[in-house]
Each structure stands twice: as C-alpha cells, then as structure tokens.
Amino acid sequence: MGTTFLTTIKTLVRQRDVLLWAIAFPLVLSTLIYAMLGNLDEAYAIDPVDLVVVDDATYQATTGLPEMITALSVEGVQADGTALLDITYVDSDEAARQTLADGDYVGFITVDASGEPAFHVDARYASSTTGTRASIVKIVLDQYWQTASLVGAMGQADPELFSDPALLEKLATEVSYTQRTSVTANPVSDSLAYMYSSLAFSVVMMMTFALAAIEDIQANTSALGARRSLAGQSKIRTLAPAIAASWTVGFGVQLIGYTYVKFAFGTSFGGKDPAVLLTLAVGVLAMTFTGAFVGSLPIASGAKSGITATLSCFLSLFAGLYGTFAQDLAESAAENAPLFALANPARQVTQAFHALYYYDGYQQFGQAILALLALAGVFFVLSTLMLRRKRYASL
C-alpha cells in the first residue's frame, strides 16, 4: 500500500498541467484579489489631514478652538486615538498662503477679529472628488462653531447655567451621540473575506486529483486500470492509498495557497490559523471523496472530467462564491432547500470560513466542519460501493 501511495503521489505531481493549474489557480486568484482589493482596508482608514493654522493673537483668543485643534492633531491625540489633523502653524495669512503654495495642504484656518474661524480651502481639494479631506476640516469647524454658538446662546439666556459643573463637562466632551464598537474579538478586514473565498474556491477544485487517481484504478476506464485490477491485491489495498495520496497532494496544494496568501500579502487570519488549516484539510477531504465518487461513475472518462468541471462551478455557485448575485442565490437555496445546502461541500467550506470571519466562537465553524466530515463519509461509502466491483460484463 505504501508503494501505491507513493506512486499515486508521483503520478499526480508529475501531471504538470493538472498540478500547475491546481497550484496556480489559488495563487492567481488571491493575487488578483489582492491587486484589486488589497487597499480596501486602507481606503477606509483615515490619514491625518495636512492643515495650516494661522496662529496669531485672535486665534489664541478664541475660546476652545486652539484646544480642540490640538486635541485632534498628531501632537495632541491620545496614544489609542486617531489623529484627524496634522497641523503646521504660521503667524500670518500671507505665510499661510505661501505654505500652501510650497506644500500639499488642504487649506488653512484663520480667525477674524470677531472670533469667527474661517477655513480657506486649497483649490486642489475643492472639487467633489478630492474634497473628502477638506470636508473633514469643515466638519471639525462646524462642530466647533455649533458648540460655541450653543454655549453663547446659553450664556445670553441664563448665565447661571454655567455654574453647573456637570453641564460644563457635558458641553466640553459630548460631540456625538453615536459610538462605534466592534462586535468581534478580532478586527474585521474587508479583504480577508475575499481571501477566504479564494481559498474556498481552490478547495473545491481539489476534486481533480481524486478523479485522476480513481480513473487509473478502474478496469473499465483504461488499460492501466484493467492491468491493476488483475493484480494480486484486493481493491481496497489499491483504492485506500490512492485516495490518501489524492488528499495529500490536494492539501499540499492548499498549504501552498495558504502560505502565499498569509506571507506574500501579509494576510492576518486573526489568530485562527489552526482553524483555517483544519478547514482546508477537511474541505480537501470532502472534495477528494466527491471526486472519487465522480471518478467511480460507470461513464466515459472524458465525461467525468466534464462533470467535475461543471460540478465545481455548480457547487461554487450555490456556495455564493461568484459574487453578490451568487450569495443571494445561495442564501435563497439554503432557505428553500436546506438539505441541498447541507449536502453541498463547497457551501460547507464557505460556511466554515465565514464562521471564522464573522464569529468569535467556534459553534458555527464546528457545525460546518462536522457537515464536511459527514459529506466525506457519505461520498466515501458511495464511491467504495461503486469501486468495490471486481468484475465487469464488458470492458
């Protein structure tokens, strides 16, 4: 059995077209995803806005503004906070204009004699497409002006209100009534979801190896299969090492893909790497037995290759691996035909990855892994029943 195992590995690894395709597929797919979506996380991140402030006597005399600007800037932000502004201070309007001309700033802030701040936007950041960074400054100043006006109005209406320390504290700190919190223990990465999808996709492709290995065993598909069937060994002694070798090569290919995604792109799986590897291992096992089942069908060899390709696409479609439309379709199928969804190994692989992505606990993940193991068992029994046949009516 050991020789059959090693021989099957050699034959699979030396089928260059199959192997290269199997290896290249996840690498190319993940590279494309990285190229297209790698900066997705950065797109949502905030870089401090480069801003010039005219730090003259009127600015310093404006109540609260210098403190707020400093608190939001790189110099004043807390260690665990996000700096919104990167301030360059100048002492006059002319100096501010000159600084804008010499460097890349969204604009400058001045305070007039009445104490009203003004934001002068650089022309380069005034358009609708480039104005996001300028709008951050505008929001900051609006927030300040809104609060300052509120305080001024309150002072005019009832100066006694300011004798309440609690109210003063509230006015000084509360700038928003909503708060952003994370529901997961690990930070969610938008590109990671796509990397998981690429891994799931490549796991589905691993049917190919088992199909190739099984076809070389069957007497009614090739002269080689017939020759092996005539030998002095039971079918299981040929079948078991061939299946084991198919899984080994498939999992090896997945390890290459995982290593590439993790180290070439610096993808973090949020400390769930062992679970990711377990998903790859069990997923490849389920797809290996699915491929073995297709390989055991009593039909022409070429038809089996076609069925494998079609089945890969079909299962992936109903696993939601083809984008938003497919995800909607997969969810609809799962609601209306839960048994079909349960019996779809591609969906279970996807579900396992989704569970790792969305949930801190492992309950949903465990359910998907158990479903994959059950599917592997079912396809093992089916393919063994088909392949246990020792005699044929014709060859």
Partner 1 sequence: MGLVEIHDLTKRYKELVALDHFNLSIEQGEIFGLLGPNGSGKTTAINCMLQLLTYDRGTIELFGEPMSPTRYDLKRRIGIVPQNMAVFETLSVHENIDYFCSLYVSNANRRKALVAEAIDFVDLGDYRKFRPRKLSGGLARRLNIACGIAHKPELIFFDEPTVAVDPQSRNAILEGIQRLNQEGSTVLYTSHYMEEVEQICTRIMILDHGQQLALGTNSELKGLVDIGEKVEIELATPDPSVVAAIQALQHVAGVSLEGNALKLTCLRGARGVGEILDLLHSSGVTYGRVYSEPPTLNDVFLAITGKELRD
Closest separation in Å from C-beta 239 to partner 1: 13
Closest separation in Å from C-beta 285 to partner 1: 24
CA 259, 345, 214, 380 torsion-angle sign: positive
Contacts with partner 1 by CB under 8 A lie at 3-4, 7, 10-11, 14-15, 216, 219, 222-224, 226-234, 390-395
Residue 272: how many other CB atoms lie within 10 Å: 19
16 or 180: CB nearest partner 1 = 16
Closest separation in Å from C-beta 10 to partner 1: 6
Q: Give φ, ψ of 363 to 5 degrees.
A: -65, -50
250 or 320: CB nearest partner 1 = 250
13 or 326: CB nearest partner 1 = 13
State how far the alpha carbon of 111 is from the alpha carbons of 145, 211, 394, in Å: 12, 75, 96
Angle at 30 between CA 26 and CA 34, to 5 degrees: 170
Closest separation in Å from C-beta 11 to partner 1: 5
52 or 210: CB nearest partner 1 = 210
Residue 102: how many other CB atoms lie within 10 Å: 8
Closest separation in Å from C-beta 377 to partner 1: 25
Looking at 38-131, list the stretches that DSSP marks H as alpha helix, in order from N- to C-terminal side.
40-44, 57-61, 65-72, 93-102
Closest separation in Å from C-beta 381 to partner 1: 21
Q: Which two tokens stand for residue 155?
A: 């002072």
193 or 226: CB nearest partner 1 = 226
At residue 15, the 3 state secondary structure works out as coil
268 or 301: CB nearest partner 1 = 301
65 or 212: CB nearest partner 1 = 212
Closest separation in Å from C-beta 321 to partner 1: 31
Cα torsion 129, 132, 133, 135 to 10°: value is: 130
19 or 71: CB nearest partner 1 = 19
136 and 130 Cβ atoms separated by less than 8 Å:
no
Which amino acid is it at 109?
I
Chain position carrying tokens 């002319």: 94
DSSP codes of every residue in 348-378: HHHHHHHHHHH-SSSHHHHHHHHHHHHHHHH
State how far the alpha carbon of 332 is from the alpha carbons of 16, 242, 260, 297, 342, in Å: 39, 37, 33, 30, 13
Closest separation in Å from C-beta 13 to partner 1: 8
